[in-house]
Amino acid sequence: MYKDISFEEYSKEFVSQLAKGAFLNVKGKDSINTMTIGWGNIGVIWGKPILMVMVRYSRHTYNLMEEANEFTVSIPLNGQLKKELGFCGTKSGRDFDKFKECNLTAIAGKVIDTPIIDECDLHYECKVVYKQAMEPGLLDENINKNYYSNHDYHVIYYGEIVASYIKQS
């Protein structure tokens, strides 16, 4: 059972858990995938609640995001799923069905077609309203050196939060 919440109600918990990992879920034409994210942001842009996520061009998820134009983020808030976050952050959906390998349950979102992960506590459903390729020449030199030495940059997806909810115990 899930309870609808305002997007900012658990934003502190979201940001705190993000550093430890959360699941970015996407549904392409023929498949679903999840990947671990550790970077993102939540707030208000253009008068809308927005969740920003970053996906590298090299990731399988990037191709699915380009097909779908929507995504969900599922957050484990109680210290669970550490092993699954590790697997989904190091293995590609090109090679593995991560839901099957990690015994994760994909269930339908409330508003969009992309599923959420039932084993998680907090969920955001988002429709992409803007995407932005990183401009390497505008990036801080130290960040570029430390995170992009291989030139595998991110696309930043701005998702309007169309639903947010938490699992009730």
pLDDT confidence of residue 91? 86
Asked if residues 158 and 52 have their Cβ atoms less than 8 Å apart, the reply is yes
Q: For the whole model, what pTM was predicted? A: 0.95
Instruction: Provide the residue type at 147 as one letter.
Output: Y
| Beta-carbon contacts of residue 134 (< 8 Å; ≥ 6 apart) | 153, 154, 155, 156
Give the model confidence (pLDDT) of 51-83 as tens digits: 999 999 999 999 999 999 999 999 999 989 999
Q: Which residues of 66-104 are buried (b: 16+ CB within 10 A; e: fewer)?
A: eebbbbbbbbbbeeebeebbebbeebebeeeebbeebeb
Q: Per mean pLDDT, which range of 5-9, 86-90, 162-166 is the poorest?
A: 86-90
Task: Give the domains, in start order, of the chain with CATH numbers.
Answer: 2-167 (2.30.110.10)
Give the model confidence (pLDDT) of 104-125 as tens digits: 999 999 999 999 999 999 999 9
Share the mean pLDDT of the chain.
Answer: 95
DSSP-assigned beta bridge partners for residue 122: 75, 166
pLDDT confidence of residue 7? 96
